[in-house]
């Protein structure tokens, strides 16, 4: 059953705003109060938006699971720039699509001309669905617009999707007990020139969980997530780099293509997001947990060879508390001025979490010109929940999408827009 949690996804989109408007405040030109609840019909029990994409015209596309009775299906919606449903998308601005009936979409990415691709899990397999700009399935992709791939004998799940310049589709996630990266041709068939028949599994050398993937300008791949536990049971940020053919890159890290990071005084960290700066440096974001199970926003920055960047935070790591004891980053983006936007969650009470956005200077310190102290917190009332995310920056506005979770276990997908 879908958890009652907000899964935030953030993009910054083009818009103009008064110079006097507070950076980080809700944008009231979007649905009057900056918030929109998404409704997928009377027969749905719960819904969430786990990712969001904003088109060049300012329309907002979201993707996430929708619970209908005993099934979980892909739910996609599109809003106009003012926050109202877009009738040019299936007439209602929303669509439900099933692959196996036990499906969880994680990422939505544009493929050109207003078309887009949604990836996640289809039961225990990788799942991809291609949509045309009007919400119809792209019948030239896979079988009737859908692709499912069993990567391992265990549970397989796509956590991130990227489209390469040539139209190839790169996905990363978890296959059984390890990292999995796969590459598809634009028609949805696996690219046999990549790895072993289109798939690279990194299990024996580097077990863990992959959360996100980025393509570097030179074609090499960065995959980020959680490492395996050490002798104490502790685990840290995991960063792996692969070459053009899908092999681990020996020029990265300690000669094996792998880097793990655990900040001092912390027992475990999990990375959920990564950005590659124009100078090649790598910023990774996630949660850092210490004794007593408290957690904080955590950023780590590495030089292009995988070594810690001492110019960032303390020895390459910046750990910040948003509020109380539990906080975590699930999304990162870099502004043109070099500032870093992080989105995630923070504890309101022991029964409620809220959506949180923090903005950092290039040196890893909080940018106090954003929401007065560098941190913006957005709630949906007592006993509501807020977690997780994905982020990309353009300019002008910050758009967050997720689930307004409730104590009853029901929840509705929503979109929030903030001023940058």
Q: Is the dihedral of CA 338, 342, 236, 48 positive or negative?
A: negative
Do β-strands 60-68 and 94-97 pair in parallel, antiparallel, or remain unpaired? unpaired
Q: Is domain 9-419 in CATH 3.30.360.10, yes or no? A: no
For the record, the structure tokens of 287 come out as 């949660």
How far, in Å, CA of 90 to CA of 95, rounded? Answer: 7
What are the φ/ψ torsions at residue 199 (nearest 5 degrees)?
-130, 140
Query: Token match 């009652």: residue?
Result: 4
More confident residue, 236 or 293: 236
At residue 398's C-alpha, the angle toward residues 409 and 11, to 5°, is 80
How far, in Å, CA of 378 to CA of 24, rounded? Answer: 10
Question: For residue 73, how many C-alpha atoms fall within 13 Å in the half-sphere facing its CB?
Answer: 18
Q: Give residue limits of the domains in the chain.
A: 9-419
pLDDT exceeds cutoff 60 at 409: no
Q: Is the dihedral of CA 9, 300, 235, 326 positive or negative?
A: negative
Q: What is the pLDDT of residues 287-309, one digit of tens each?
A: 999 877 789 999 999 999 999 99
Percent of the chain's residues with pLDDT above 70: 87
Which of 32-36, 85-89, 293-297, 384-388 has the largest mean confidence?
85-89
Q: How confident is the model at residue 15 (pLDDT cuts 50, 70, 90)?
A: very low
- CA nearest 334: which of 401, 418, 399, 391? 391
Q: What is the DSSP string of 107-169?
A: EEEEEETTEEEEEEEETTEEEEEEE-TTS-B-TTTTBTTEEEE--SSS-EEEEEEEE-TTS-E
Amino acid 158: pLDDT: 95
For the record, the structure tokens of 320 come out as 């910040």
For the record, the structure tokens of 226 come out as 């959680």
Query: Token match 């950005």: residue?
Result: 275
Q: What is the pLDDT of residues 175-223, one digit of tens each?
A: 887 778 899 999 999 999 998 999 988 765 455 677 888 888 888 889 8
Q: What is the pLDDT of residues 80-122, one digit of tens each?
A: 999 999 999 999 999 999 999 999 999 999 999 999 999 999 9
């Amino acid at each position: 059953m879908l958890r009652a949690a907000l899964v935030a996804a953030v993009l910054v989109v083009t818009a103009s705003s008064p110079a006097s408007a507070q950076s980080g405040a809700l944008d009231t030109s979007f649905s009057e109060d900056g918030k929109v609840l998404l409704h997928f019909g009377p027969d749905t029990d719960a819904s969430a938006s786990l990712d969001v994409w904003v088109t060049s015209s300012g329309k907002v596309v979201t993707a996430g699971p929708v619970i209908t009775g005993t099934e979980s299906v892909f739910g996609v919606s599109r809003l106009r720039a003012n926050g109202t449903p877009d009738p040019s998308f299936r007439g209602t601005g929303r669509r439900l699509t099933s692959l196996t009936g036990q499906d969880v979409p994680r990422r939505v990415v544009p493929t050109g001309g207003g078309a887009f691709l949604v990836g996640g899990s289809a039961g225990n397999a990788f799942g991809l669905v291609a949509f045309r700009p009007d919400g119809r399935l792209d019948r030239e992709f896979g079988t009737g617009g859908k692709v499912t791939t069993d990567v391992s004998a265990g549970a397989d799940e796509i956590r991130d999707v990227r489209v390469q310049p040539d139209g190839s589709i790169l996905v990363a996630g978890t296959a059984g007990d390890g990292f999995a990266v796969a590459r598809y041709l634009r028609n949805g068939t696996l690219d046999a020139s990549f790895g072993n028949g289109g798939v690279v599994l990194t299990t024996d050398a580097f077990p863990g969980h992959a959360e996100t993937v980025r393509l570097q300008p030179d074609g090499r791949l960065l995959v980020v997530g959680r490492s395996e536990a050490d002798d104490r049971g502790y685990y840290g940020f995991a960063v792996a780099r692969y070459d053009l053919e899908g092999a681990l890159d020996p020029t990265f890290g300690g000669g094996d293509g792998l880097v793990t990071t655990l900040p001092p005084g912390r027992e475990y960290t999990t990375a959920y997001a990564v950005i590659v700066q124009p100078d090649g440096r790598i910023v990774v974001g996630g949660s850092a947990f210490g004794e007593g199970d408290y957690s904080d926003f955590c950023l780590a920055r590495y030089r292009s060879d995988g070594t810690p960047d001492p110019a960032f935070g303390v020895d390459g790591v910046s750990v910040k508390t948003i509020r109380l004891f539990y906080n975590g980053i699930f999304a990162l983006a870099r502004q043109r001025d070099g500032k870093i936007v992080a989105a995630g969650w923070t504890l309101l009470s022991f029964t409620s979490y809220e959506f949180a956005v923090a903005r950092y200077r290039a040196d890893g310190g909080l940018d106090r010109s954003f929401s007065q102290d560098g941190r913006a917190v957005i709630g949906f009332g007592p006993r509501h929940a807020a977690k997780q995310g994905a982020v990309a920056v353009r300019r002008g506005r910050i758009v967050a999408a997720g689930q307004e979770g409730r104590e009853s276990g029901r929840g509705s997908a929503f979109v929030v827009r903030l001023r940058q």
